[in-house]
Structure 1
């Protein structure tokens, strides 16, 4: 009789340990997700600031500078939480960068000297970092969603009332003329 009691106790301890382990893992993934979202937001702000600096540098013609400055300002003013509005604004900035930085504009910035090249390098770096941050964030979302689909997580409500995360989708391609 005693051996049955130990067996039941062992199974209960094992189940409790597994539930605790699963909950802690899910919590770590959610913390990672928060970090990747904050990193993505920081890189989006960095890209927008680099775009504003280039637009205000005086190295672009007036119309190009206005298009770029407007799209960058919209990006800086957009709500910082992920959502459809933010994705549209960031795609608009990417499109403005692509339209503004043509072959001729990039060549004239390179010819303008070290200052023009510095603006292009800063913008290229910011664009690359946005791509990486978005990929890292979307990978974290995929990991969280994969764990949340497990029957143990669903059956014991280990995710609580935390909303299911969604990937961030927008055009983040670097303009061809940045030399990235």
Structure 2
């Protein structure tokens, strides 16, 4: 069970790092923002605006492409760690995955989005990523001693992750409906247009 759960956790971290869309964090200062203005103005996001949604998806996809090499290297490390079944190596790889995901989230937070729909999706993906971090911490603690596994918290996190995945699917379907695209992912939608 632990091996499957850990593989699932590593996969979630990798996937969310590669394709997460961060929150429109008004308190985060970006390099560009600090050069252009001293104070961050409050940004009003559009709703149901096809052009803004498509622009946001294109922006996110461009950023995701810059992360592909890092993600590929990380996936190789995950596979290697799982093959070796080395607990210390697995812990190191999970820690590295968290670091990569956090850096990726910072980059996504620096993106300027125009649409509420993509901004909301980005926030849900970050929330999912953070829940996956909690899950990985729980599973790592149980690697050393199965008695350390808090079954109640494990179930709560699994339920939370399932709910968040459903929320992502619902948000994505809404975006696709606005765009009039029958694709299953925002990335696919931006490739189709």
Q: TM-score, normalised by structure 1?
A: 0.44
- Report 1 or 2 for greater relative contact order, CA contacts < 8 Å, sequence distance ≥ 6: 2
Q: TM-score, normalised by structure 2?
A: 0.41
- Which protein is bigger by CA-based radius of gyration? 1
